[in-house]
Structure 1
Amino acid sequence: MLQQIYPPAVHPYQYELNKDLQFAAAHYVPAEEAGKCRRMHGHTYFANVTIAGDELDRTGFLVNFATVKQLVHDRFDHTLLNDDAESFNEEDPNRFPTTEVVARTICEIVQAHLDRTENKPRCVQVFLRETPTSYCIYRPKRPTGA
């Protein structure tokens, strides 16, 4: 795994968990302006998912590291992202499988799981490296009242 120092996510929570993972996936960006990225190509993505909260679950975890890996790696590794119609859409630019949208989608997938847990931690940041020189950070806005 690429050793990386990630920009910190500012949040008010007592606990912060970070999970590094990687997955290999292909994609293409269905827009004329995408240039070479219009053609199918692949990346080894490096992701860091930051989860924060004030309450631990009954096992003493904010969330199990293995669960985060399962949610992301098992879903996207060795896939064509464009084929994931639940996450991506070739008609809506806000759902094209760009690095920005993939980072947001990872956050949404993780948060959907966290919302079903008893301790309700928050996914506060997803850092997604697409190439050695290109990455994106997605930080969701805080929910109202948080």
Structure 2
Amino acid sequence: MIQQIYPQVQHNYQFELNKDMHIAAAHYIPHEDAGKCQKVHGHTYFVNITIAGDDLDDSGFLVNFSGIKKLIHDRFDHTILNDHTELFSDKDPSFFPTTEGMARAVWEVIQRELDTKVNKPKCVQVFVRETPTSYVVFRPKQKEEQQ
């Protein structure tokens, strides 16, 4: 069993769902400052996805856990992250497959799917641990209310 303490994200939604998973994947960072990480190498990433919302769907779920796993685990597990060119780039540093880039990419995939749901849940945080001592938290910026 995976047991982890995560940074908390503040929100005003009634429901908060968290899904944990391990993803075995390889990557390389296409920049000279990455040192030995310029070479292809792998990690067992630990990913936690936090989804929040006020309304449940017709089946009583905020989001079905199995759907989250299919979206992320089935997509990235046992792949080379750099090969996911719809999410990562070897040219734009904002889209390198770093831990930060992985957290952003997971959020994008999840939120794109959530936007199709009638109950409109929101992915409020993605936690990605790359090694036992290093992790990144991605939280989308909240849109400022229009005046």
* TM-score normalised by the chain length of structure 1: 0.97
Whole-Å separation in 2 of the counterparts to 1:139 and 1:10: 11
- Deviations 1:43-99 (CA, angstroms, capped at 9, x unpaired): 000000000000100001000000111110000000000011111010000110000
Instruction: Please tell me the root mean square deviation across aligned C-alpha atoms, in Å.
Output: 1.2
Aligned residues: 146
1:101 paired to 2:84: no
Unaligned runs of 5+ in 2: none
Whole-Å separation in 2 of the counterparts to 1:108 and 1:58: 24
Equivalence for 1:128: 128
Cα deviation, residue 32, structure 1? 0.3
Q: Given residue 123 of structure 1, which amino acid in structure 2 is its aligned partner? A: C
Equivalence for 2:38: 38
Whole-Å separation in 1 of the counterparts to 2:136 and 2:57: 30
Unaligned runs of 5+ in 1: none
1:87 paired to 2:87: yes
Q: Given residue 22 of structure 1, which amino acid in structure 2 is its aligned partner? A: H
Whole-Å separation in 2 of the counterparts to 1:4 and 1:107: 19
Cα deviation, residue 36, structure 1? 1.1
Cα deviation, residue 12, structure 1? 1.1
- Percent identity between the aligned chains? 62
Whole-Å separation in 1 of the counterparts to 2:69 and 2:144: 28
Whole-Å separation in 2 of the counterparts to 1:53 and 1:41: 37
Equivalence for 2:71: 71
Equivalence for 2:55: 55
